[in-house]
């Protein structure tokens, strides 16, 4: 029986904003990921070698900007403040992904971006770090834009492409992902810190989408847990049945026991729904290892045509 869980992990980022001495219109946004550069090994766990990402952004000099000021209407729509990152974005995102691999139970090693991604180079990295997988990545977009004028709208986008190489140095999957977010900050004067905080939330959602994707996890040989929604959606619950289930879940721990869930569902399901439930609970879990095959490119899951990312915009 597979374990069934509900809940979501959190990403922690420390962000500082300071003004440059040369001009009051340019701020430096310091993003410091709360991810260790050296990770403690877990005995017996497989090792993932995470390489610093390649920077494919069109503009590598900044990570954001603000437009307009409320006291000068003539400047509305014009750039009044630009943001840059103290640490390389390619390093920050690679370290964040390394932390997520560690959360999945892997040992992690951090490496510089390789000169190329051919088989010989990947096998050399595997040998050097005694690894089982190599992860390379590309940063395609990483930007936050704010407005100093009402209604203080902030827009953020982060897009990456990860490549998984197996223990033979062969590519196993290419995974593009893109996350966009926007919000209004309210009536208070615009604070650049709010844009930085919003960017960190966008990055969190980007990696949440990657590291909970079933096909990505399968390519990494991760035994997957089943979510409650994955079990109940095929059952076609009525509104009344859903209400009873929600009430029952309120009294359960975060990690719901599969047997207890099945036992409760049987008390509210029709005979046809019970048969579907039995099929759901008896279905085999995804395999821990995938067969050798051509690298998989996931189908588009976002309206943006520039990248076939399976994340939600």
CATH of the domain at 50: 3.30.160.180
DSSP 296: E
Per-residue pLDDT at 119 exceeds 90: yes
Quick one: pLDDT at residue 88? 87
pLDDT for the residue 253:
63
Q: Please state, in angstroms and rounded to a whole number, the distance separating the CA atoms of residues 45 and 93.
A: 23
- Give backbone dihedrals phi and psi of 30, rounded to 5 degrees, phi first: -100, 110
State how far the Cα of 100 lies from the Cα of 247, in Å rounded to an integer. 32
Residue 250 exposure: Cα atoms within 13 Å on the Cβ side? 6
CB-CB contact of 230 with 253 (8 Å): no
Both 176 and 278 in one domain: the answer is no
What are phi and psi for residue 220, nearest 5 degrees?
A: -90, 0
Which tops the pLDDT comparison, 196 or 168? 168
Inform me whether the pLDDT recorded for 162 exceeds 80: yes
> Which residue is associated with the tokens 């099929």?
279
Say if residue 204 is in the same domain as residue 132.
yes
For residue 147, pLDDT over 60 is answered with yes
Can you give the pLDDT at residue 192? 65
Q: Are residues 147 and 25 in the same domain?
A: yes
Is the pLDDT confidence value at 63 over 80? yes
Between residues 59 and 54, which one has the greater pLDDT? 54
CA torsion 8-289-126-53 (nearest 10°) is -40
**Total domains in the fold of the chain:** 2
pLDDT of residue 7: 34
Maximum average pLDDT range among 49-53, 100-104, 211-215, 237-241: 49-53
pLDDT at 149: 58
The answer to whether the bond into 300 is cis (omega within 30° of 0) is no
Give the model's pLDDT for residue 128.
96
CA distance 101 to 9: 13
Got the DSSP string for 121-169? HHHHHHHHHT-SEEEEEEEEEEEEEEESSTT-EEEEEEEEEEEEE-TTS
How far is Cα 57 from Cα 67, in angstroms, rounded to an integer?
Answer: 21
Most confident of 25-29, 40-44, 62-66, 251-255: 40-44
Same domain, 47 and 196: yes
Instruction: Answer whether residue 172 shows pLDDT above 80.
Output: yes
Q: Are 235 and 273 in contact (CB under 8 A)?
A: yes
Report the share of the chain in percent with pLDDT over 70: 65
Does some domain include residue 288?
no
Here the tokens at position 111 are: 């490496």
Question: Confidence band (pLDDT; 50, 70, 90) for 150?
Answer: low
pLDDT at 158: 94
Same domain, 136 and 271: no
Same domain, 177 and 260: no
Pick the range with the lowest mean pLDDT from 207-211, 256-260, 287-291, 294-298. Answer: 287-291
As a whole number, the mean pLDDT across the chain is 75
State the pTM of this model: 0.64
- Helix axis angle for 271-282 and 258-266, nearest 10°, is 170
More confident residue, 250 or 34: 250
Identify the pLDDT of residue 28: 59
Residue 151, pLDDT score: 58
What is the residue range of 14's domain? Answer: 10-224
Question: pLDDT confidence of 178, banded at 50, 70, 90?
Answer: very high
pLDDT at position 87 is 80
Q: Identify whether 310 is part of a domain.
A: no
Residue 194: how many other CB atoms lie within 10 Å:
18
Element containing residue 259 per DSSP (H, E): helix 258-266
């Amino acid at each position: 029986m597979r374990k069934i869980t509900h809940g979501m992990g959190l990403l922690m980022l420390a962000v500082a904003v300071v003004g440059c001495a040369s001009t009051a219109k340019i701020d430096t946004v310091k993003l410091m990921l709360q991810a260790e550069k050296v990770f403690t090994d877990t005995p017996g766990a497989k090792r993932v070698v995470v390489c610093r990402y390649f920077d494919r952004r069109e503009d590598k000099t900044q990570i954001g900007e603000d437009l307009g000021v409320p006291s000068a209407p003539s400047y509305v729509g014009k750039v009044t403040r630009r943001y840059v990152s103290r640490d390389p974005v390619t390093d920050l995102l690679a370290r964040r992904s390394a932390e997520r691999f560690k959360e999945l139970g892997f040992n992690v090693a951090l490496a510089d971006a390789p000169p190329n991604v051919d088989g010989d180079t990947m096998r050399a990295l595997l040998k050097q770090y005694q690894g089982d997988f190599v992860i390379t990545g590309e940063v395609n977009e990483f930007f936050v834009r704010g407005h100093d004028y009402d209604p203080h709208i902030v827009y953020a986008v982060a897009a990456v492409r990860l490549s998984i190489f197996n223990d033979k140095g062969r590519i196993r999957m290419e995974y593009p992902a893109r996350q966009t977010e926007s919000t209004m900050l309210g009536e208070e004067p615009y604070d650049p810190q709010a844009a930085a905080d919003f960017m960190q939330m966008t990055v969190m959602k980007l990696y949440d989408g990657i590291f909970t994707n079933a096909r990505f996890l399968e390519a990494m040989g991760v035994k997957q847990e089943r979510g409650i929604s994955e079990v109940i959606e095929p059952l076609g619950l009525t509104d009344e049945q859903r209400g009873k289930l929600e009430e029952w879940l309120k009294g359960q721990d975060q990690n719901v026991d599969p047997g207890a869930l099945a036992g409760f569902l049987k008390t509210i399901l029709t005979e046809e729904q019970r048969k579907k439930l039995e099929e759901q609970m008896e279905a085999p879990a995804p395999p821990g290892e995938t067969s050798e095959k051509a690298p998989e490119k996931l189908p588009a899951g976002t309206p943006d045509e520039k990248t076939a990312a399976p994340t939600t915009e």
